Amino acid sequence: MTRIRTDLSDCIGRTPLIHLREASRLTGCRILAKAEFLNPGGSIKDRTALGLILDAEKQGRLRPGTCIIEGTAGNTGIGLTLVGNSRGYRSLIYMPATQSRPKIDALRQAGAQVVLVPAVPYRDPGHYAHAARAKAEAMNAEQPGSAWFADQFDNIANSQWHEQTTGPEIWADTEGRIDGFVCAAGTGGTLAGVGRALKALNPAIRIGLADPAGSALAAWVHTGELQARGDSISEGIGSSRITANFQRAPVDMAWTIEDTESIPWIHRLLRDEGYGVGGSSGVNIAAAVAMATAMGPGHTIVTMLADPASRYPAKLFNPVFLRDRGLPVPVWLEQVEG
């Protein structure tokens, strides 16, 4: 019998777990990925948005007439706006001006008010998260209860929702036959929530961090020091600080992934298997291969395909941009250019 979804919230999650053929063949492991780009807003951040909103409603912090305010690289803002639309809220989103145009356009098309701010380090008071918080505080000072700052980085309702939903989905889909889970961290909500859920079911499961170059999180796992080296074209992942959500992550292993490792996986996955995914997914696949190599053949590793390729055409599928960054351009993409 077909199950009729009652609203947008009921369409979020329960995404397919898919077998990554090439990564599995290369390593002799079974490498699987949750197809989070199939959520209605196009990313895993739909889950985060729903969890944050449900928690805020439960606490009475979000009610009719309240404006949702968040600082985001884009995907969480899209999720908050769409879920908010379905529940009668309007959204005000602060984001760095450097983020991809498709994400900015998607937010505006969904009806969010978008404020673009300079891309500055978190320590700068002009950082997008601080700007969003300050706006919410100013609105609430003028009219109490008029704004809710979602605070995806330090609101642990984020990781708690993944612990309640995403982790158990992975366990059920693999029938408990899983040896490792690895993914990147922006807020740390997915890594912490899924990691905690899986560890509770089987403490032997290894939890790994996939960290893009330019982020300090892998160094922190290895040395206890926040040290960053290099940079990456990936958006929405990596950090120079330990968030309240990331603090909850039971990380056993960590890898720093260069763009030269991750970008080819994005192109291979699209060309050879038909899945079009964004930059963070390439980081995740490269780290899943590293985890599988470290653990040896015969293991099952799960990761995330976080969002779609369509949000990054100017970077991931632009031969001129890739060459300027010293990144490999696949032959078929050169042919598209010609």
What is the pLDDT at residue 184?
98
Q: Is the pLDDT of residue 1 over 90?
A: no
Confidence of residue 334 (pLDDT cuts 50, 70, 90): confident
Backbone angles phi, psi at 300, to 5 degrees: -110, 120
Q: Which residues pair with 296 in a beta bridge?
A: none
Residue 45 appears among annotated catalytic residues: yes
Q: Is the pLDDT of residue 209 over 90?
A: yes
Examine the domain organization and report whether 71 and 193 are in the same domain.
no
What is the pLDDT at residue 73?
87
User: Hey, CA dihedral for 190, 191, 195, 196, is it positive or negative?
Assistant: negative
Q: Is the pLDDT of residue 338 over 70?
A: no
Express each pLDDT in 230-276 by its tens digit. Answer: 999 999 999 999 999 999 999 999 999 999 999 999 999 999 999 99
Residue 176 has a CB neighbour count (10 Å cut-off) of 12
Examine the domain organization and report whether 125 and 141 are in the same domain.
yes
In a domain, 161, yes or no: no
What is the pLDDT at residue 337?
54
Confidence of residue 3 (pLDDT cuts 50, 70, 90): confident
Examine the domain organization and report whether 30 and 66 are in the same domain.
no
Confidence of residue 336 (pLDDT cuts 50, 70, 90): low
List the catalytic residue out of 34, 45, 103, 315.
45
What is the pLDDT at residue 234?
95
Examine the domain organization and report whether 57 and 33 are in the same domain.
no
In a domain, 159, yes or no: no
SS3 assignment for the chain: CCCCCCCHHHHCCCCCEEECHHHHHHHCCEEEEEEHHHCCCCCCHHHHHHHHHHHHHHHCCCCCCCEEEEECCCHHHHHHHHHHHHHCCEEEEEEECCCCHHHHHHHHHCCCEEEEECCCCCCCCCCHHHHHHHHHHHHHHHCCCCEEECCCCCCCHHHHHHHHCHHHHHHHHCCCCCCEEEECCCCCHHHHHHHHHHHHHCCCCEEEEEEECCCCHHHHHHHCCCCCCCCCCCCCCCCCCCCCCHHHCCCCEEEEECHHHHHHHHHHHHHHHCCCECHHHHHHHHHHHHHHHHHCCCCEEEEEECCEHHHCHHHHCCHHHHHHCCCCCCHHHHHHHC
Confidence of residue 188 (pLDDT cuts 50, 70, 90): very high
In a domain, 248, yes or no: yes
Q: Is residue 266 within 8 Å of residue 305, measured between CB atoms? A: no
Express each pLDDT in 61-72 by its tens digit. Answer: 999 999 999 999
Express each pLDDT in 10-52 by its tens digit. Answer: 999 999 999 999 999 999 999 999 999 999 999 999 999 999 9
Examine the domain organization and report whether 174 and 123 are in the same domain.
no
In a domain, 183, yes or no: yes
In a domain, 89, yes or no: yes
The boundaries of the domain holding residue 65 are: 44-149
Q: Is residue 232 within 8 Å of residue 223, measured between CB atoms? A: no
In a domain, 2, yes or no: no
In a domain, 224, yes or no: yes
Confidence of residue 335 (pLDDT cuts 50, 70, 90): confident
Examine the domain organization and report whether 55 and 132 are in the same domain.
yes
Examine the domain organization and report whether 177 and 110 are in the same domain.
no
Chosen domain end from 95, 116, 149: 149
Structural domain total, the chain: 2
CA–CA separation, 114 and 135 (whole Å): 13
What CA–CA distances, in Å, run from 77 to 39, 43, 98, 245? 14, 11, 15, 18
CA–CA separation, 131 and 72 (whole Å): 11
What is the pLDDT at residue 2?
66
Chosen domain end from 85, 117, 149: 149
CATH of the domain at 107: 3.40.50.1100
What CA–CA distances, in Å, run from 166 to 139, 198, 240, 275? 34, 10, 25, 21
Residue 203 CB-density burial (10 A; 0-12 exposed, 13-18 middle, 19+ buried): exposed
Examine the domain organization and report whether 97 and 186 are in the same domain.
no
